[in-house]
Amino acid sequence: MAPAKKKTTKKSAKKSAKKTARKSSSKRKSSKAAKKKGGFFSRLIAKLFKWGFVAGLWLFIGLGLLMAWYASELPSVTKSMVFERRPTVIIKANDGTVLDRYGDVKGKIITVEDLPPHVMNAVLATEDRRFYEHMGFDVIGFTRAMVVNIKAMSFVQGGSTITQQLAKNLFLSRERTIKRKVQELMLAFWLEYELTKDEILSAYLNRVYLGAGTYGVDAAARVYFGKSARELSIREAATIAGLLKAPSRYSPAASPERASRRTKVVLQAMVDAGYIDQSEVDSYKILPPAPRRKPSSGETIKYFTDYVVAQLGDLIGTVDSDIVVETTLDKDIQEQLEISMTKALLQYGPERNVEHGAGLVVRLDGAIVGMMGGKDYGISEFNRATKSIRPPGSSFKPLVYLTAIEEGWSIDDTIMDEPIEEGRYRPKNFGHEYYGEVTLYEALTMSLNTVAVNLMRDVKPDKVIDMARRLGITADLEPDLSLALGSSGVPMIQMTTAYATLGRGGLAVEPFSIKRITDVEDNTLYEHEIERRARQVVEKSHISQITAMMESVVQNGTGQAAQIPYPAAGKTGTSQDFRDAWFIGFTPRYAAAIWMGNDDNSPTKRLTGGSGPARVWRETMMRAHTKRGGPTFSNFSGGNFEGGFDDFLARILSEDDSSSGWGWGFGRKRVPEGEEFTPLGRHQWDLNE
C-alpha cells in the first residue's frame, strides 16, 4: 500500500506546483497591468497640464492683445467726450414765468466742496459706498451684485462703481458689448490715476442724468425743487439720489407717490451706511399724502406747450441750441379755464355721460391766452382744441345768417318757421315747437332749425362755405343743407377764429401762440409781427347785425347761462344725438370756445351747449375781464378800426337803432330780469335747444 500512497503524493505536488505557478504568473500580469494603467493616467495628467498651460498662455496672450487693441482706441476716445444732450427749450407765459421745459437741462457746474455733505452721502449710500476705498473697480460690490442676480435669476443689481459710470458717461456710447465693458473698466482705472476722488465725484454729479431732461444735481434741484443744489435738504437730496436707479420711473414730477417711496429707501440706506441717524429718518416717515387725482390734474398746460413746440421747426428751423420761447398764454385765464372745466366735468360727467372737455380762449388780435386740450394730459395727450374735428352743431348757424345778411336779408326780415315738407332732408326743431312767422333776430335767438335750413336753401351752401373760408375755417365742409345745422366737423381752433373775426368787426384774425424766440444770449431768432392793418373780410354793417342777433342769444335765448356783466355775443351748439355740446362766443376783448363730449363719439345723456359749456365760458370770461378791469379798450390790440377806438367803443355801447357795431339796439331791448322772452307774444321755447 505504501507505494500507491507515495505515487498519489507526487501527483498532488505537481498539481500544486502548477497552481502556484499560475497564481504567480497572474500576480505578475496584474502588477504589470496596474503599472501600465497608472502610467497612462500620469501621462494624461501631464499632457493636460502641458496643453492647459499652452492654452492658458495663448489665452493670456490673446487677452493681452485684445486689451491692447481696446486700449489703442482710448486716446482718441478720451479726446472727445460723449455727452448727448438735446437742446433745452424753455417756454414762458406772457408774464415771463416758466410754463415748461423741453429737451435736456444742464445746471451750473458745482464741486463737492460746494455741496452740503448729505447730497454726496445720499448718492454714495445708493450707488457706491466704498467709493473712497476702491481703485475704480469694487470687487466686493461686484461679487455681491452677481450673487443677488444669480439668486433672482435676473439682472437686479449692477456692480458698476461711480468711476465706471463716469467713464461711460464721459467717453463711451450706451452700446452694451464686451468691448465697451472692458474699455469702461480700463478708463475707470485711468480716471482713478489721473484724478482725485473728489474730482471724480464732482464730475459724476455734474454729468449724471436725473430725469425730466436734467443733467447733473444742480439742474435736477432747480427743475424739481426750484432751488440750487447747494440748498437741498436731506430729504430732497435723498429724492434726487433715488432718481439714479430709474430717472423716469421715480421722477417727483411724473410720479410723486413712487418718488416718495424711493426717497424712504434712500434715507434708510443712508442710515445703514452710517451717514444719518434712524431718528432723522423717522421724522420723515409721516409724509403728506399724494393729492387725489382730479379730472383736470393741472397738467393741461402741456397741451399748449406741445402745440408751441410743434411750431418751432416752421419758425426757426432745426433747434440745435438752447432757446427761450415767449408765448401769449395768460396763466390766470388758463387756471380759470381748468378750474371751471374740472367743476363742470365733475357735475355733468356721471349724470350726463360726459368724459372729456376742451376749451380755447383767443384775444381778438389772435393771441391764444388759454388752451385746454382735454381733461387730463396724463391720461390722453391728444389735443382736442387743435386736432379734434367735431360737428359744431347750431354754433355754425351764425355763419348761415351772416351769409343771408350779405345776400340782402335784414335782421328784421321775417321768415316762416314751420315743418319742412319738401325734399329728402327734413330736420325738426328742438322739442318739435314751431312759431310761424318770425324775424331772423328771433329765429337765431331761439336757434330754430327749420329757419337755418331754409336760409341755407335760399343762399346756397357754396356761399356759406365761402363765408366760412373768409372767417378762417379751412376744414372740409359738405355742400348740403345739413351744413346749416353744423353737420360737418370743424376743429375748435377754426371755430374760435371765425368768432374772433366776428368780434373784431369783420377783420381777419390769425391765431398765434408765440411772441418771441431768443437764444441763451437773448439774440432774437423770431418775433411775431404786429398786424398793422388786417384784411376786412366781411363788411362791418353786416357784422353789426349778426352781433346783435348773437347778443340776444346770450341775453334772451339758449345761451343765457353764459351771461356776464359785459357786452357778450355767442351761440350754443348741440350736435346730433347730443354727441357734442358747444358754446362759442366773443366780447370786445376775447373769443372763446368750450366743448364737452366723448372721444368715442358716443351720445351724452342730453347734454346741451346751453348748460355745462355755457357755464364754463361765463366763468372763464368773468376771470379774464375782471382781471383786465372791465370792457374798455386799454389793453386791446385788435388791429385797425376805421374811426379809431373811440368811434368803435361808441358803436359798441350804442343803444341807438342806427348803431353799426355791437347790436345793443335794432329795436330790441334786453328782457328785464325776472321776465321771460316770448317771440311775437305767442310762444315760449325750451332753452336747451
- In angstroms, the CA 440 to CA 411 distance is 5
Kindly report the CATH number assigned to the domain that includes residue 375. Answer: 3.40.710.10
pLDDT at 162: 85
Residue whose C-alpha is closest to residue 353's, from 657, 540, 104, 600 = 600
Task: Decide if 87 is inside a domain.
Answer: no
Angle between helices 397-406 and 461-471 (to 10 degrees): 110
Other CB atoms within a 10 A radius of the CB of residue 626 amount to 14
pLDDT at 413: 96
Residues 337, 257 share a domain: no
Those residues whose C-beta lies under 8 Å from the C-beta of residue 236, and which sit 6 or more positions away, are 221, 224, 225
pLDDT at 255: 79
- With b for 16 or more beta-carbon neighbours within 10 A and e for fewer, the 267-299 pattern comes to bebbbeeebbeeeebeeeeeeeeeeeeebbbeb
Task: Decide if 676 is inside a domain.
Answer: yes
pLDDT at 332: 94
Binned average pLDDT, 10 residues per bin, the chain of 689 residues? 47 54 54 58 74 69 57 48 67 92 76 91 90 79 66 60 78 57 72 84 87 85 88 92 88 82 91 88 61 48 93 88 94 95 93 95 97 89 94 97 97 93 84 91 95 95 97 96 96 98 96 95 92 88 96 95 95 94 96 96 94 97 79 34 36 34 37 41 32
Which pTM was predicted?
0.66
Residues 203, 75 share a domain: no
Do residues 625 and 591 lie in contact, with contact meaning Cβ atoms separated by under 8 Å?
no
Residues 487, 445 share a domain: yes
pLDDT at 143: 72
Residues 273, 406 share a domain: no
Domain that holds residue 179: 111-282
Residue whose C-alpha is closest to residue 447's, from 465, 459, 435 = 435
Task: Decide if 530 is inside a domain.
Answer: yes
In three-state secondary structure terms, 90 is strand
Do residues 610 and 623 lie in contact, with contact meaning Cβ atoms separated by under 8 Å?
no
Residues 580, 650 share a domain: yes
Residues 440, 576 share a domain: yes
pLDDT at 52: 73
Task: Decide if 492 is inside a domain.
Answer: yes
Residues 387, 257 share a domain: no
pLDDT at 283: 74
Kindly report the CATH number assigned to the domain that includes residue 253. Answer: 1.10.3810.10
pLDDT at 192: 82
Pairing of strands 89-92, 323-327: parallel
How many separate domains does the chain show? 3
Residues 242, 379 share a domain: no
Residues taking part in catalysis: 127, 394
Task: Decide if 526 is inside a domain.
Answer: yes
Residues 203, 62 share a domain: no
Task: Decide if 688 is inside a domain.
Answer: no
Residues 243, 134 share a domain: yes
Residue whose C-alpha is closest to residue 319's, from 5, 85, 505 = 85
- In angstroms, the CA 241 to CA 204 distance is 12
Cα dist from 682 to 390, 434, 667, 676, 685, whole Å: 35, 11, 18, 12, 10
In three-state secondary structure terms, 546 is helix
Task: Decide if 7 is inside a domain.
Answer: no
pLDDT at 148: 63
Residues 220, 74 share a domain: no
Task: Decide if 17 is inside a domain.
Answer: no
Residues 646, 562 share a domain: yes
